Structure 1
């Protein structure tokens, strides 16, 4: 039986950060498909999205998401979930029994294809979670080909992360493993017309696999989009278009909790631009399915400052289903736990996201690396530039009012959000955003 030889850390596996000490900052990196350059990526867990827990229940929401400013949908895994060692009554969607089947609880492959087409008709791209590191204990290949999986010293199927007791890790020393997973990814690209994948714990999988994976799906789709759940500059040279910016996320949360300074936040933004390939896109987020809701540590008054900084700073914004209306409870991955859309609805939160994503329709505030963070009189600032236009964002991320002077007074400013006066106050959570075309 195959025993483990790799050494990826067991703790916090999806959040390891590898800047490579700036050695890759001169690399161009992969170009991001233009369809992902404006708007936000909307993450959907169908089991939580509706009481029905089906893909058909997503259809009525497509127009709402387009109107809010979505450019793409990301579905958590939709495959049959393992029965052996499952967590909870329904199990984790990341414990997969068969990669080339759709869980009947969600619908049919044909129904998924219809949903993708409806999304495409509205200008939305669609990506699916792809789990290449591990599978369920009762994956159909484990009994017929045990050599495809890792085993411990006693010969039992094993996993690198002890808490993930419901899965077993693939063994990439068996070339057939890569073949099977690549066939599975290509299958979904062909059968339903996907535009790419979000790749679970990407750094726990050999990079040479992801390079092969990209080459294979590029034969099906002319411009596939790959998002890595990891933060490694090396991923962007030839495999991934975007990856999680865990560094900025964690620092922003610590600023909100009074545990980090604005200087630390400024450095976390700079760390991306000075270490990652030029066209590498950071995924910027305030929450996701693995993290507590942003409204568990911020209120509606302070949210605008954090949302503006996260989503207008040059990264691809991520919204997790329910976030847009102020949901406070993070749905369980292991049970039916529908989002209480009506009970949690907060019109102030909804208006915050509406105003920010309305601004994000302007290419000046869209995805790109033309971002310079700074501080001004107690405010955190983001400076954006594009084709001669300059945009400046000032946010009060603290808990006390601050007084500011409009930046660069020699410029003529159009105020997009906030006070019109030259000298003005910003209360906690408030934002000033201006644009200058000369």
Structure 2
């Protein structure tokens, strides 16, 4: 009996190890296909504003159901030209250092390990276009920077706290790649979100992706809307066109039917297996342009549903999952004060479950077919994502007025389940239905 129990114990252990190895060995293309990304603002996340304090919040994020943790820059911040008291994360003083505000290197390494053990992926925000004004490279390698006619190092745009790097310099390129590789090798991060990626030469990104993949296959997200970056270097970039269209619809400047142009443009110029990151807010939008509630008003939740069911990977920014309605200060300590909002939390939890359980919502090679159902109302937006064995139907009234559903051409058919109400219904009932202002409906169905 004891021998038999020992045999079973060994067998189970081997099987579990096999499962863990298989999960760990998944490629970024595989683990990102139905993933949700979460942007971590360490400074504002907790009163302490540290890695260790954030690590204690990982169980809540696991319950929420996010998959990829994108950490805003964690590197030391330059003093020279610093904006505000604490400065911008994006004024990097040392690419291989840790911001002491957050803790020590050992703390971040432990955080990554814990996140991995819980099933999260971790990506770092990388600032390759510029450094802080007193970055260690400024004194050591002044020739690595772009200068004006009298030799002064230039700032990109009006960002006076940073210095623009010169990508004509091969030594600088090599040092940048070495710094990125450092975080993959030493901290086991799973990839990078690359700041203003479109301002850095595409050939640098192509070469960097190839070098990093030799260490470990990495996930690459570009802060850009630039098709050439998605040919070789990046899996995804920003869906600014969708965000802009949503903001304009909320303001009455555009109609729901204008969303059609967003996907049409992407499909006409992008690598077919690349995809967009869809979002209603992020650190820039929140701090500089306003919360989603400021910009989208009563339509905010309807637009969130769109970002989850429209082709792409949805993003949640720090505090979004509890209905944060304040702009977080960018250069000062400004903690998310109250994390207790079960109704909003459960709304996002339900959407994350939708993303995980519906193959039709995948991105990349396994993305579902997109079917648009036109109606007589320019404010009604209805579409279906479909793959063999699964379909997700989204119905949106993107206006502040009641709208009648009146299909003009093809229309959905068959039995579905109302995802939020958990009720069976037939798609034929949509014809002639009244949609309330900013109403959203999501239906799921098993399709043969």
TM range (shorter): 0.7 to 0.9
Change (3 A) 1:377 1:304: farther
Cα distance between partner residues in 2 of 1:158 and 1:204: 14
Change (3 A) 1:256 1:349: farther
Check conservation: 1:377, 1:402, Cα contact below 8 A: no
The match for 2:382 is 381
The match for 2:17 is none
Alignment of 1:65-144 (within 5 A): 65-144=61-140
How much has 1:311 moved relative to structure 2?
1.3
Structure 1's unaligned 5+ residue stretches are 1-30
The match for 1:390 is 391
Q: Give yes or no for the alignment of 1:227 onto 2:227.
A: no
The match for 2:41 is 45
How much has 1:54 moved relative to structure 2?
0.6
Deviations 1:53-72 (A, max 9, x none): 11111112212212222111
The match for 1:6 is none
Cα distance between partner residues in 2 of 1:136 and 1:374: 50
Alignment of 1:140-289 (within 5 A): 140-161=136-157, 163-221=158-216, 223-289=217-283
Cα distance between partner residues in 1 of 2:201 and 2:373: 37
How much has 1:353 moved relative to structure 2?
1.7
How much has 1:383 moved relative to structure 2?
1.4
How much has 1:364 moved relative to structure 2?
2.0
Check conservation: 2:85, 2:332, Cα contact below 8 A: yes
Structure 2's unaligned 5+ residue stretches are 1-26
How much has 1:331 moved relative to structure 2?
1.5
TM-score (structure 2 length as normaliser): 0.85
How much has 1:369 moved relative to structure 2?
5.8
TM-score (structure 1 length as normaliser): 0.87
Q: Give yes or no for the alignment of 1:294 onto 2:292.
A: yes
The match for 1:317 is 314
Question: Which of 388, 406, 411 is the aligned partner of 2:414?
Answer: 411
Matched residue SS, 2:57: helix
Cα distance between partner residues in 1 of 2:345 and 2:381: 23
Check conservation: 1:211, 1:238, Cα contact below 8 A: yes
Cα distance between partner residues in 1 of 2:205 and 2:30: 22
For CA contacts below 8 A with separation 6 or more, give which structure has more relative contact order.
1
The match for 1:15 is none
Matched residue SS, 2:253: coil
Check conservation: 2:231, 2:270, Cα contact below 8 A: no
Tell me which moved more, 259-268 or 359-368. Answer: 359-368
- Pair member with larger Rg: 2
Deviations 1:29-54 (A, max 9, x none): xx852211223100011111111111
Check conservation: 1:312, 1:366, Cα contact below 8 A: no
Cα distance between partner residues in 2 of 1:112 and 1:214: 23
Change (3 A) 1:67 1:382: farther
Matched residue SS, 1:56: helix
Q: Give yes or no for the alignment of 1:58 onto 2:54.
A: yes
How much has 1:140 moved relative to structure 2?
1.2
Check conservation: 2:64, 2:345, Cα contact below 8 A: no
Cα distance between partner residues in 2 of 1:258 and 1:269: 21
RMSD, aligned α-carbons: 2.0
How much has 1:377 moved relative to structure 2?
4.5
How much has 1:341 moved relative to structure 2?
2.2
How much has 1:409 moved relative to structure 2?
6.0
The match for 2:31 is 35
Cα distance between partner residues in 1 of 2:368 and 2:218: 20
Cα distance between partner residues in 1 of 2:136 and 2:43: 24
Cα distance between partner residues in 2 of 1:126 and 1:371: 30
Cα distance between partner residues in 2 of 1:160 and 1:360: 38
Q: Give yes or no for the alignment of 1:399 onto 2:400.
A: yes
Deviations 1:388-422 (A, max 9, x none): 43321111111012233798464232332368472
Cα distance between partner residues in 2 of 1:87 and 1:361: 40
Higher helix share: 2
Cα distance between partner residues in 1 of 2:356 and 2:420: 15
